[in-house]
Structure formats: structure tokens, C-alpha cells
Amino acid sequence: MAIMSTDEQQGAAQRRPEARKPRGFPDRTAAIIAAERKLVDSITAVYQRWGFDALDTGPFEYVDALGKFLPDADRPNAGVFALQDDDEQWIALRYDHTAPLARYVAENWERIPKPFRRYSAGPVWRNEKPGPFRFREFIQCDADSVGVSGPAADAEMIAIAAQAMQAAGAQHGEYLIRVNSRQLLDGIMETAGVLDPMQRGTVLRALDKFDKFGVEGVMLLLGKGRKDESGDVTQGAGLAANQIDVLLEFITARSISRAETARKLANSVGMTRSGATGVAELAEIDAILTALGIGDDAAAFDPSIVRGLEYYTGPVFEAEYLREFHDADGNALRFGSVGGGGRYDGLVARFRGEPAPATGFSVGVSRLAAAMAVSEGPAVEGPVLVLVMDKDQLADYATLASDLRRAGVRAEMYLGSSGMKAQMKYADRRNSPAVVIVGGNEREKGVVTIKDLKAGAAAAKGMTDNEAWRAERPGQFECARGEMVARIKAIAGAP
């Protein structure tokens, strides 16, 4: 065999690719995949109960169907991941599930029932700067109703959002659906005398920071600007003091109940037509939510909620996950928004040139799964492991593992080359609930030894004497081979 020179070795090392992951495209472990699947199944079950049908429009759309995310028509890669097809037309990975829905509805308008109620679950892709729990590829789970107007449809979506959060595992008090209205925001802008579209955008971005910066921070952003801890300055909206007072009264109007908040908002937005329409919408939404059993602790009116107003045309809402978790330094944190939606009456109209009212709600499944993984630390239970004690008995061990699988138990035979200690360590790393041991003694007696690893771990927590633990071997027992499957099923919780 030829021996490589030092230069050849260095050249070979330089040719090796670096093992690295593109930012924003996370590797998803078994625990995260299981959590996402469970969330999708639980949330879509809620959508199905409310009469929505599944629809998958596929990952790619023509870029002109995606609207505002295409600032560069020659190479439309800002915000989306796009490529040129063999017919030289640009196509892009879907940014969300709603724009493809609008295209589908417009394309099939004459044959679909109206309202058209569909749900969709799957990955979406965004060509944006990634950050903590902000991914470029993630799973969303949507429900939308197209072809129906009025607050009743929006109230239904808010109720669905609350039930979806419960189905996802959030208990009462651990989530809140926060509701606002585009009409209310338009009304308060008119009342405050903020008429310039550019200035309105700055004001809305400032109001959206209320949860983060509080009244004082928003006041600065509405005025001359705000300097953060690093010294960077965010330019303010340049409003006068009386204008700021009107806006602050509006965003702090949230009260202990939806009805009381609506009454306070009616005073703050004055008698503008948009404001009066928004207050009337909220009053009807409150009445329907109350009839559906959605209390003030599950859905609240919150005038500080600001979503993309180029997109939404009526009520808007966000689902907030309130459960606290702790970071690596032990600091208590909250995850914040994990879903949102609202009324968007103009999206289908882009294709048809005529109004097509619509409302919807979307859960950020990947974000919610990550939040629950941090707060709960979920672990996927591994397979039952059949240890290999005698290499000449592989067929017997394979039979034991096969018997367990036929009975619906996850099971594997150890295929490595290590001894018992290493095999037990492997079972621990796999989070196996139990191991099956058959050596010469067990084979002679026609029994198997089962180590219930969950029971053993629980017992070990209460023992301080290692010798006593080894002598008692908690969770370990013998049983006849014919009883193995039943005993393992009881440990693993298999049906």
C-alpha cells in the first residue's frame, strides 16, 4: 500500500468539506419531530371538528402569486427562496400557506363551495435573517375560511385558536388569544391626526413594541426616538405631545374583561367611522365568544396588537404562549407569540379583481414545539433493547425482538460488538424503557431477565447506599419466556 507524503496528506485534508449547517435550517431530532407530529395531529383534529377539510397546495408557487414579498422582479429572492424554471419563469418556495390558498381559491372559484373551509399543515420557507427560535424553514398549521364576511367568522377563528392551543397542551392560564382590529387602528390614527402613510407605519411599529418596551419606550418611539442599551438610536415618529397622549390612552385601554375594554376603546377612538366599526366588531365578537364558552382568560381585546396591515383588513389576533421557562443561566423567560391570524379580504381579490372575504389562523408548529421542548424537556422513549450476551445465539435474540415488535412494542436487538456494560449504556442513551437479558442460565431455565429501567431509575433516586442498590437490583426480575411480551408491554405502556 502506498504511503501518502506529508504534502499529499495536507492536500487531502484541505479537500475535505467542512461539516456545517446553513443558518436557519435546524436539524430536528427525534424528540422535536415527535413533538411536531403530535402538535400537527392535535391541532388539525380541532380544525376537522369545526368542519375544515385538508388541502396541500405543494411547496412551489409562481412568484407573482406571493405578492408583497417580491421587491426585485428580476431576481425575486428577497423574503423568499426562488429559482427560475426551465420555461424561464420564476417560482418560489411558499412563504406561508395563505398565499397558495388564495391562488387555489381563485383558480377553482366556480367549483368549490363557499364558504371554502380548508386546513393545511407543512413546512414553509422564508429567506430572512434567522435568530433564536426564528427559522428559515418551519412548520405551520393553518385554518382558513374564504367567502364569508362579518365578525361571526372572525369570532369562530378566535375560538378555534383557543381550542388549538389547548389541544397543543397549553392549560388554561398558559395561553392567551389577543385580539385587535384594523378599523380601530385606522380610527385612532385619524383621531390622533396621523395621516401620512409613512408616518403611520412608524407609529404602528412603535405601538407594536408596547409589550417589549412599555409605556415609556413607546412614548420615546412616538416622539424623538429611543436609544437602546448599546447606544443605537431608533428614530421616532416625531409626534406632538397631544398626539402621543391619544395613542397611549388607546394602547393602554385593555381592561379586566373584553366588554370593559371595548367600552374604553369606544371613548379613545372618538366618533370616527373606522373606530365605530371596529368597536362594533369587537362587541359582536365578544358576544359570540361568550356563547362559545371562550372566557376573558382565554381571549382578550388588546389594542397593542399590530400585525401586517398591508395584509389584514379587519380583526387581527395573536396566540401567546404564557408558560415560563428558564434559559441556560436560569433566567425566567416567556416565549411569546406562537400563532396569529385575522381577516384578509383582499388576497383572493388580487387574482379575481372582485372582493372575496376571508379569515384565518395559523399556528407556528416548529416554534411552539421548540417552546414546549424548552419548558418540558420532552424525550422520545426509545426501543426495548434485547441484549446480546452470546454471539452464537443471535437467531434467538432476533426472535425475542421480533416477538416484541409483532406485539406492537418498539424493540431492537443490539448489533454492536460491545459487552454488557456498554450495551446498558447504549440503552440508557436510547432512553429505553427496559432491556431483555438472556444468558446461559436463563436459557437453561427457560426464562428471561427483564430490567425495568424506568422503575430502576425511580428507585435509585431514593437510595444512597450503592451496595444496597446493587443487591436489591430494583426493577429487575425474571419471568417465563412466554410471559415476556405481556410484562414488557406493561412496562412500555404499549396497547
- 74-133 pLDDT per residue, tens: 556 678 898 888 898 889 999 999 999 999 999 999 999 999 999 999 999 998 888 777
pLDDT classification of 60: cutoffs 50, 70, 90: very high
Could you give all domains of the chain from N- to C-terminal order, each with its CATH number? 30-376 (3.30.930.10), 384-492 (3.40.50.800)
pLDDT exceeds cutoff 90 at 200: no
pLDDT of 465 strictly over 60: no
pLDDT class of 45 with cuts at 50, 70, 90: very high
Contacting residues for 92 by C-beta, under 8 A, at least 6 apart: 60, 61, 62, 63, 66, 76, 80, 81, 82, 83
What pLDDT digit, counting tens, does each position of 271-306 carry? 688 888 999 999 999 999 999 999 999 999 999 888
Of 462, 470, 403, 469, the C-alpha closest to 436 is 403
Per-residue confidence (pLDDT) for residue 162, from 0 to 100: 97
What is the structure's pLDDT at 128? 85
SS (H, E, C) the chain: CCCCCHHHHHHHHHHCCCCCCCCCCCCCCHHHHHHHHHHHHHHHHHHHHCCCEECCCCCEEEHHHCHHHCCCCCCCCCECCEEECCCCCEEEECCCCHHHHHHHHHHCCCCCCCCEEEEEEEEEECECCCECCECCEEEEEEEEEECCCCHHHHHHHHHHHHHHHHHCCCCCCCEEEEEEEHHHHHHHHHHHCCCCHHHHHHHHHHHCCHHHHHHHHHHHHHCCEEECCCCCEEECCCCCHHHHHHHHHHHCCCCCCHHHHHHHHHHHCCCCHHHHHHHHHHHHHHHHHHHCCCCCCCEEECCCCCCCCCCCCCEEEEEEEEEEEECCCCCEEEEEEEEEEEECCCCCHHHHCCCCCEEEEEEEHHHHHHHHHHHHCCCCCCCEEECCCCHHHHHHHHHHHHHHHHCCCCEEECCCCCCHHHHHHHHHHCCCCEEEECCHHHHHHCEEEEEEHHHHHHHHHCCCCHHHHHHHCCCEEEEEHHHHHHHHHHHHCCC
pLDDT digits (tens, 9 = 90+) for 402-458: 999 999 999 999 999 999 999 999 999 999 999 999 999 999 999 999 999 988 777
What share of the chain has pLDDT > 90, as a percent? 51
Q: What is the reported pLDDT for 145?
A: 96
Separation CA 204–CA 309 (nearest Å) = 9
Out of 204-218, 379-393, 465-479, which region has the weakest mean confidence (pLDDT)?
A: 465-479
The pLDDT score that the predictor gives to residue 415 is 94
Which one of 18-27, 319-328, 454-463 scores highest in mean pLDDT? 18-27
CB 333 within 8 A of CB 195: no
Pick from 485, 463, 262, 461: nearest CA to 386: 485
pLDDT at site 294: 96
Sign of CA pseudo-dihedral 421, 427, 433, 438: negative
CA atoms within 13 A on the CB side of 57: 24
pLDDT at 1: 53
Distance CA 479, CA 495 (A): 20
Q: Which residue has the higher pLDDT, 281 or 353?
A: 281
Set of cell numbers at residue 30: 427525534
Calculate the average pLDDT of the chain.
Answer: 87
pLDDT tens for 145-162 read 999 999 999 999 999 999
Check residue 71 and give its pLDDT.
44
Residue 335's contacts (CB-CB under 8 Å, 6 or more residues apart) are 133, 321, 323, 325, 367, 371, 374, 375
